[in-house]
Amino acid sequence: MKQFIWGMLTMACLIVTLFFLRYWRASGDRLFAFFAVAFALMSLNWFCLALIQPAFEAQHVIYLVRLVAFTLIIVGIMDKNRASR
């Protein structure tokens, strides 16, 4: 059941990635590019969890991918706020 849920999360993150890429191409705003890359990393995270043993989730590599994704979101927001000044 966990693999099915992780597959659904992978699909959802990929769909969100495609939406943000479309908004980035339409507006040229870098915030959407940061969000698209972050959600692509999150979908990669969920995909890897679905393929490997669930006990491996306790390893630090999986959490580093999430950390990079959330850091990209924070950097994108900071970049957007700094650019508007």
Count of residues in the chain: 85
The whole-model pTM stands at: 0.87
The string of pLDDT tens digits covering residues 34-63 is 999 999 999 999 898 888 876 665 667 778
CA distance 71 to 79: 12
Burial class of residue 81, CB neighbours in 10 A (0-12, 13-18, 19+): exposed
Cβ atoms 13, 37 nearer than 8 A = no
The string of pLDDT tens digits covering residues 5-32 is 989 999 999 999 999 999 999 999 999 9
